[in-house]
């Protein structure tokens, strides 16, 4: 390295999407000389699909990201134009924030934030090759032939690898609408021997808001008191706007049915797998023929544009048909299309090629994050970006990777699922993926992850101090509730005991709390303390299982373990173990098809090897 | 999935059957606490390497289950190098099982075959040479366990559990959809609707659980089924094997219309022999019942003897059976060697099992057959005995655990707790049933949601 390179960095991040920016900021804040390479520096943190961040489970991801020192949360808090806390009618474990974003402002704010990072450089160039020596990354080669040295590379290519956009019968090579795909880079990655596949996703048409009769649609307002994503945000200041709900009808569905052969999804032109939970409108009509209507959300793309995102109408029909579909909907009879919807196919790398650190098993120092790993969603991408950035930095410094447990964070679940089970459809987070859902709440994300973020150098001193004083306030509140006696039917008990009953809320006891504490209290902190008390029994019930999971994850499996030598394992299990190469017994236990008996044999062989080594020593 | 080495395990350590004393062994961190709980004494009164006579009681009902000699071995000076407690109980299977049930209720997990030895090894109690031998044993056991698991998944219990599990998975899917897709057009189940769906679930499991008390549990041991098409001499062979005149032997085909069971030892191992109705396509409704039962029995049996008539050519029904049972049959028995032979000795159909020629009538070859059978059973040595019991006991225990979780869920609904709390117990019940029927995981539940609801934007 050095002689023939144009420049040298510690960490090079390829891609300026939601994964790339988090990776770059994390590595830079950890003190490493970091460069972010993007094909278009004007489109950093572009929201290529819906103009929103968060949603159920995704909101949890952003909270966790923020608690660890990621940046998505604070940027959406500054650029969100409608905030809603979803699932309020369920329990607090599944409340989740969502915000409509002003796309353009989001992009600009993120770019500004990146520019404020002293150790981070933004570079516009196309990377065509990952350079390596002896199985280890040494840098990247750019399209103009320059070589850039890097000790670690984070690859976040999104939908750009061999991207192919379909609109009706037409198709064109593209990374996102109007942008070139990365073809040489895709070939470079395949040349390294990675297992890969192809996925599909889609977007709906965008309309000119001036041509929509919003009076004919249902208005959907944001929350009166917006819930921010970031623990560091005090207040949402920017103006808030409404969204609208319209409905498709028989006529819309008829148009789809009549033109089905023109949709690339049904004409056979697209073979790759799209997400079942984000179906195209064609799929909705074909798979649920009995439904008389489907919800269509009209979401503004920003405050300085009239462009409207038609959420729920993802389609790759020819533009003429899209127009007909749109205009069959009440309120949209006169609507004009600004851009048609499209389907996009792209390459992804099998995430089982990765260690839980997101480093690839084939090439040391190379990390993959975001859609390249088969996920979907800005939030999923951002979380992987953060972890890849952290672990790239730690790898450069010769430190052990940071891996979050399934009991610690949705981020841990996301990455564990990917690297252990792989995925054959775009992977999205759901709260139902969490075994310990009650533990993983938005109100305690900071308690779960901020100390770690502080240790890693990602959470600043000021934020850390604020976190500490918040914990102290909550501790005082807990203590006071224990001391405060309240009257119930059966006599006098502590407020803490009373709160375990469904009929009591913490607000009922505030007047009995010490004056100083009363003025310090804020509603979120009160709610958080109340939740812990109410869920206490259930949280305890899960503790033993969590303890077991932790112990299993503390049992390390050597990466070069020879599973083929174990006679008692079925060929199928040997094949899976050899491919996935789990790093702990815990990870091995989650490989689909694993049996307790197979695990006990692995235990035995592990112990045998250990003793043999000991005997030799 | 349990990773097998962190919890406290319990098992009946002496061979099953009616003997004077039956020893139950507990091993793991909580062994002493659990033993003290069922003996109604403080942990400290169980002293290292001291044996005391104690009443074993149900901790809640205080009902006395047995008087036992209780010995505590402090780690690491014990068989497994963990804390171990041995309970020397009276040897009756009923007593042992009721004591086991209480230990499990207090937090022990039923040990899998060979698990005590496995732990002894992992905790460094056994040297490398011994360990190599144990590895071989455990590897053999794993194959056996895989077989047990397959049998269970195909077995009659699993089939009876299926509709119940189906209801559970449906309810979980509905509730999960209401949480994860609250922003979509997904209906949210009302409390009454949840209760309504829980009722048949609880009732179904209760019925299954009640069935265990009378059922297979008391006749723990190995099950060997004799199968074949009609009139190949199954019942004669069966009677010779159990040394009794019991099954009806008749020249007209299809005489044995029900499954006949008899207990008899085979080389010291208690074996439950089953004589089955001849399998053939029959229109006779009574006979059909017998044939259906037979198929159910086949799924539960530990070993199958497939009987052919050596004095005639292979019939189509023989071929069908050979095909159907090629995985399961452990021995091909060619009967009627007292008559002129038409069947070749080798190359009969796809079954790879050893072939033994016998005359059930004269008894010729029957000893060889027993030897072959013993050898097959001997592959895992004691495991088979343990295995059969574990299988039964585990089924009962898991169903009990699922039932408990469901009852907690019913309570949670009554209290008006949020759906994610109710789901905690529903998932708990599902994971218990999963261990008996094969895994239904989150991907299956999500798949069902996407099939049922048009979710996503």
- Which residues from A are below 8 Å from B128, CB to CB? 608, 611-612, 615
Q: Which residue of A has its CA nearest to B445?
A: A432
The pLDDT value recorded for residue A30 is 98
pLDDT score, position A3: 53
Lowest mean pLDDT among A354-358, A430-434, B293-297: B293-297
Determine the residue of chain A that is closest to B439 in CA distance. A593
- Cβ-based burial of A159 (10 A; exposed 0-12, middle 13-18, buried ≥19): buried
pLDDT tens digits for range B71-99:
999 998 998 999 999 999 987 777 888 89
Alpha helices by DSSP H, listed for A259-300, are 264-267, 281-287
Chain B residues with CB inside 8 Å of A600's CB?
4-5, 112, 115, 118, 138, 142
Determine, for residues A56 and B418 on separate chains, whether the beta-carbon distance falls below 8 Å.
no
Between chain A and chain B, how many beta carbons pairs sit less than 8 Å apart? 166
The reply to whether B255 and B354 lie within a common domain is: yes
Residues B187 and B61 in one domain: no
Per-residue pLDDT, B391: 53
* Residues 162 through 221 of chain B touching chain A, CB cutoff 8 Å: 176, 178-185, 188
Scan for tokens 């044999």, then name that residue: A601
Do the chains contact at A604 and B135, CB–CB below 8 Å? yes
What pLDDT, on a 0 to 100 scale, did the predictor assign at position A587? 95
Q: Do B4 and A596 touch (CB under 8 A)?
A: yes
Question: How many domains does one find in chain B?
Answer: 3
At residue B124, the pLDDT reads 77
Higher-confidence residue: B260 or A436? A436
Secondary structure letter of residue A91 according to DSSP: -
Chain B residues in contact with A596 by the CB 8 A cut-off are: 1-4, 112
Band (pLDDT 50/70/90 cuts) for residue A497 is very high
Taking only the tens place, the pLDDT of each residue in A159-182 is 889 999 999 999 999 988 788 888
Q: Judged by CB atoms within 8 Å, which residues 34-53 of B form the interface with A?
A: none
pLDDT confidence of residue B211? 64
- Please indicate, yes or no, if residue B455 is contained in any of the structural domains: no
- Rounded Cα distance between A30 and A399, Å, is 12
Contact between chains at A600 and B115 (C-beta distance less than 8 A): yes
- Which of B210 and A588 is assigned the larger pLDDT? A588
pLDDT digits (tens, 9 = 90+) for B349-390: 777 778 889 998 888 888 888 888 777 664 433 333 333 344
Same domain, B195 and B144: yes
| CATH number of domain containing B28 | 3.30.1360.120
The CATH number covering residue B306 comes to 3.40.50.300
**Chain A within 8 Å of B447 (Cβ-Cβ)?**
yes
The two counts, helices (H) then strands (E), for chain B are 13, 12
A502/B416 CB distance under 8 A: yes
Does residue B445 belong to any structural domain of this protein?
Answer: no
Query: Nearest C-alpha of chain B: how many angstroms from A405?
Result: 16
**Same domain (yes/no): B76, B186:** no
Positions of chain B with pLDDT under 70 = 1-4, 15-19, 113, 127-129, 131-156, 211-222, 244-259, 265, 267-270, 277-293, 296-297, 299-300, 329, 345-347, 376-392, 457
At B214 the pLDDT is: 39
A349 CA: distance to closest CA in chain B (Å): 21
- From chain B residues 5-34, the ones with a CB under 8 A of any chain A CB are 5-7
Q: Which residue has the higher pLDDT, B364 or A15?
A: A15
| Weakest-pLDDT range from A63-67, A255-259, A271-275, A285-289 | A271-275
Beta bridge partners of A142: A127
**What are the chain B neighbours of A502 within 8 Å (beta carbons)?**
415-417
The verdict on B132 touching A (C-beta cutoff 8 Å) is yes
What pLDDT digit, counting tens, does each position of A559-583 carry?
888 898 887 788 889 999 999 999 9
CB-closest option in B2, B420, B445 to A596: B2
Nearest CA to CA, how far is B209 from chain A (Å)?
Answer: 24
Residue of A50, A52, A90 to mutate, testing the B interface (most B Cβ within 10 Å of its Cβ): A90
Nearest CB among A98, A275, A552 relative to B3 is that of A552
Structure tokens at A318: 């020819």
Task: Nearest chain A residue to B413 by CA: give it.
Answer: A502
Task: Tell whether B361 is covered by a domain.
Answer: yes
The pLDDT of residue A516 is above 70: yes
CA distance between the termini of chain A: 37
Instruction: Choose one of B336, B353, B383: the last residue of a domain.
Output: B383
User: Does residue A7 carry a pLDDT above 50?
Assistant: yes
Q: Look up residue B232 and give its two tokens.
A: 């190949």
Answer yes or no: is B58 within a domain: yes
**Per the CB < 8 Å rule, is B4 touching A568?**
no
Q: What is the mean pLDDT of chain A?
A: 94
pLDDT of residue B383: 35
- Which pLDDT score, from 0 to 100, does residue B148 have? 57
Nearest to A284 among B176, B420, B454 (CB): B454
DSSP string covering A363-400: SBTEEE-GGGGTB-SHHHHHHHHHHHHHHHHHHHTT-P
B154 with B189, same domain: the answer is yes
Whether residue B313 is found in the same domain as residue B296 = yes
The answer to whether A315 touches A322, Cβ cutoff 8 Å, is: yes
- Pick B314 or A435 by higher pLDDT: A435
Assess if residue B285 is contained within a domain: yes
Contact A551 B3 (CB under 8 A): yes
Tell me the per-residue pLDDT of A185-209, one tens digit each, with 9 for 90 and over: 999 999 999 999 999 999 999 999 9
Which pLDDT tens digit goes with each residue over A407-424?
A: 999 999 999 999 999 999
Q: Is the complex ipTM more than 0.85?
A: yes
Angle CA B285–B287–B290, to nearest 5: 115
Give residue B382's pLDDT: 33
Question: Could you tell me if B348 and B399 lie in one domain?
Answer: no
Residue that finishes a domain, picked among B94, B127, B160: B127
**What per-residue confidence (pLDDT) applies to B248?**
43
Query: Considering B367, B383, B399, which residue would you say is the last residue of a domain?
Result: B383
What is the pTM (predicted TM-score) of this model?
0.81
Same domain? For B168 and B316 the reply is no
Provide the pLDDT for residue A110: 98
User: Which residues are bridge partners to B269 per DSSP?
Assistant: B266
Q: Same structural domain for residues B258 and B304?
A: yes
Domain span at B65:
9-127
Cα separation of A401 and A249, whole Å? 52
Q: Is B454 inside any structural domain?
A: no
Instruction: Tell me which chain B residues have a C-beta less than 8 angstroms from the C-beta of A595.
Output: 142, 145-146, 149
How many whole angstroms from its chain centre is CA B77?
33
Q: What is the pLDDT of residue B340?
A: 87
Q: Does residue B227 sit in the same domain as residue B376?
A: yes
What's the rounded mean pLDDT across residues A241-261?
97
Q: How far apart are CA B356 and CA B241, in angstroms?
A: 14
A279/B454 touch (CB, cutoff 8 Å), yes or no: yes
User: Both B184 and B293 in a single domain?
Assistant: no
Phi-psi region of B22 (alpha: psi -120 to 50; beta: other; left: phi over 0): beta
Query: Residue B360 is encoded by which pair of tokens?
Result: 């059930």
Query: What does the alpha-carbon distance between residue B306 and residue B234 come to, in Å, rounded to a whole number?
Result: 9
- Residue B418 with chain A: CB contacts under 8 Å: 90-94
The string of pLDDT tens digits covering residues A81-111 is 999 999 998 999 999 999 999 999 999 999 9
> Which residue of B2, B139, B441 is in closest CB contact with A568?
B139
Q: What are phi and psi of A415, to 5 degrees?
A: -75, -40
* Nearest by CB: A91 against B415, B420, B446: B420
User: Residue A610 contacts by C-beta under 8 Å, 6 or more apart in sequence?
Assistant: none
CB of B133 within 8 Å of any CB in chain A?
no
């Amino acid at each position: 390295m050095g002689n023939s390179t144009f420049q040298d960095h510690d960490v090079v991040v390829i891609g300026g999407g939601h994964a790339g920016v988090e990776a770059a900021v994390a590595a830079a804040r950890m003190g490493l000389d970091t460069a972010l390479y993007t094909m278009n520096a004007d489109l950093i943190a572009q929201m290529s699909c819906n103009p929103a961040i968060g949603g159920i489970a995704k909101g949890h991801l952003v909270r966790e990201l923020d608690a660890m020192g990621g940046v998505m949360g604070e940027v959406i808090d500054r650029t969100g134009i409608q905030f809603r806390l979803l699932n309020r009618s369920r329990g607090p474990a599944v409340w989740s924030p969502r915000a409509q974003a002003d796309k353009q402002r989001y992009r600009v704010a993120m770019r500004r934030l990146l520019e404020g990072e002293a150790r981070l450089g933004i570079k516009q160039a196309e990377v065509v090759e990952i350079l390596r020596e002896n199985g280890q990354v040494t840098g990247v080669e750019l399209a103009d032939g320059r070589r850039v040295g890097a000790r670690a590379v984070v690859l976040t290519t999104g939908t750009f690898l061999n991207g192919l956009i379909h609109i009706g019968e037409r198709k064109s090579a593209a990374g996102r609408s109007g942008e070139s795909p990365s073809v040489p880079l895709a070939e470079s990655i395949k040349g390294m021997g990675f297992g890969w596949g192809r996925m599909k996703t889609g977007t709906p048409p965008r309309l000119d808001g001036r041509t929509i009769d919003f009076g004919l649609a249902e208005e959907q307002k944001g929350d009166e008191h917006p819930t921010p994503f970031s623990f560091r945000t005090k207040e949402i200041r920017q103006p808030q706007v409404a969204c609208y709900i319209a409905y498709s009808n028989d006529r819309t569905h008829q148009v789809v049915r009549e033109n089905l052969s023109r949709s690339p999804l049904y004409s056979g032109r697209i073979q790759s797998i799209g997400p079942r939970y984000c179906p195209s409108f064609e799929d909705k009509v074909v798979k649920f023929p009995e439904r008389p209507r489907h919800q269509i959300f009209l979401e503004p793309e920003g405050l300085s544009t009239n462009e409207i995102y038609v959420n729920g109408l993802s389609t790759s029909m020819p533009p003429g048909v899209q127009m007909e579909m749109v205009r069959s909907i009440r309120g949209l009879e006169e609507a004009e299309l600004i851009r048609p919807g499209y389907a996009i196919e792209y390459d992804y790398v099998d995430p089982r090629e990765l260690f839980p650190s997101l480093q690839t098993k084939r090439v040391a120092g190379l990390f993959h994050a975001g859609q390249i790993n088969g996920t979907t969603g800005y939030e999923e991408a951002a979380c992987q970006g953060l972890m890849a950035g952290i672990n790239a930095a730690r790898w450069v410094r010769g430190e052990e990777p940071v891996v979050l447990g399934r009991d610690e964070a949705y981020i841990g679940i996301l990455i564990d699922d990917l690297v252990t089970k792989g995925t054959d459809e775009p992977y999205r987070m759901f709260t139902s993926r969490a075994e310990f859902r009650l533990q993983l709440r938005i109100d305690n994300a900071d308690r779960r992850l901020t100390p770690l973020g502080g240790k890693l150098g990602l959470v600043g001193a000021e934020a850390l101090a604020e976190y500490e004083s918040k914990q102290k306030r909550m501790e005082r509140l807990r203590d006071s509730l224990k001391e405060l006696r309240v009257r119930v039917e059966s006599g006098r008990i502590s407020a803490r005991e009373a709160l375990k009953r469904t009929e009591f809320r913490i607000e009922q006891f505030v007047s009995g709390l010490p004056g100083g504490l009363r003025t310090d209290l804020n509603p979120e902190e009160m709610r958080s303390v109340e939740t812990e008390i109410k869920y206490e029994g259930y949280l305890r019930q899960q503790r033993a299982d969590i303890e077991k999971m932790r112990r299993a994850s503390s049992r390390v499996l050597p990466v070069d373990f020879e599973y083929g030598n174990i006679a008692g394992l079925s060929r199928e299990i040997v094949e899976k173990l050899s491919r996935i190469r789990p790093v702990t017994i815990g990870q091995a236990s989650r490989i689909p098809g694993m049996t307790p008996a197979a695990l006990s044999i692995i235990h035995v062989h592990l112990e045998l090897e250990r003793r043999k080594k000991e005997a030799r020593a | 999935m349990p990773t097998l080495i962190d919890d406290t395990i319990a098992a009946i350590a002496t061979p099953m059957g009616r003997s004077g004393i039956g020893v139950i062994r507990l091993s793991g961190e909580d062994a002493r606490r659990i033993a003290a709980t069922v003996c109604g004494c403080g942990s400290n009164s169980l002293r290292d390497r001291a044996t005391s006579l104690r009443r074993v009681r149900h901790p809640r009902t205080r009902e006395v289950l047995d008087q036992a000699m209780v010995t505590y071995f402090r780690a690491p000076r014990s068989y497994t190098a963990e804390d171990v407690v041995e309970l020397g109980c009276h040897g009756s299977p009923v007593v042992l099982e009721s004591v086991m049930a209480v230990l499990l209720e207090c937090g022990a997990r039923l040990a899998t075959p060979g698990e005590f030895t496995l732990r002894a090894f992992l905790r460094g109690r056994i040297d490398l040479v011994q360990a190599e031998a144990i590895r071989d044993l455990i590897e053999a056991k794993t194959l056996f366990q895989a077989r047990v698991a397959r049998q269970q998944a195909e077995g009659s219990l699993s089939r009876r559990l299926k509709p119940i599990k189906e209801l559970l998975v449906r309810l979980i899917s509905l509730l999960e959809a209401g949480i994860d897709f609250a922003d979509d057009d997904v209906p949210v189940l009302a409390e009454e609707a949840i209760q309504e769906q829980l009722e048949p679930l609880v009732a179904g499991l209760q019925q299954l659980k009640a069935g265990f008390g009378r059922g297979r549990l008391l006749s723990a041991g190995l099950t060997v089924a004799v199968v074949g098409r009609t009139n190949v001499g199954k019942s004669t062979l069966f009677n010779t094997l159990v040394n009794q005149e019991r099954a009806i032997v008749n020249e007209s085909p299809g005489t044995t219309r029900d499954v006949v069971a008899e207990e008899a030892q085979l080389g010291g191992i208690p074996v439950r022999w089953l004589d089955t109705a001849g399998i053939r396509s029959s229109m006779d409704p009574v006979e059909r019942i017998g044939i259906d039962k037979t198929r159910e029995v086949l799924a539960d049996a530990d070993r199958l003897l497939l009987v052919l008539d050596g004095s005639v050519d292979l019939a189509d029904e023989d071929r069908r059976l050979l095909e159907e049972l090629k995985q399961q049959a452990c021995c091909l028995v060619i009967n009627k060697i007292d008559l002129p032979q038409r069947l070749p000795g080798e190359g009969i159909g796809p079954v790879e099992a050893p072939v033994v020629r016998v005359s059930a009538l004269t008894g010729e070859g029957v000893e060889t057959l027993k030897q072959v059978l013993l050898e097959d059973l001997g592959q895992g040595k004691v495991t088979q005995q343990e295995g059969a019991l574990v299988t039964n006991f585990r089924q009962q225990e898991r169903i009990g655990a699922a039932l408990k979780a469901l009852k907690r869920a019913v309570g949670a609904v009554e209290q008006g707790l949020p759906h994610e709390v109710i789901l905690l117990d529903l998932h708990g019940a599902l994971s218990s049933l999963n261990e008996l029927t094969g895994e239904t995981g989150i991907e299956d539940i999500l798949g069902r949601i996407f099939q049922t609801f048009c979710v996503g934007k």
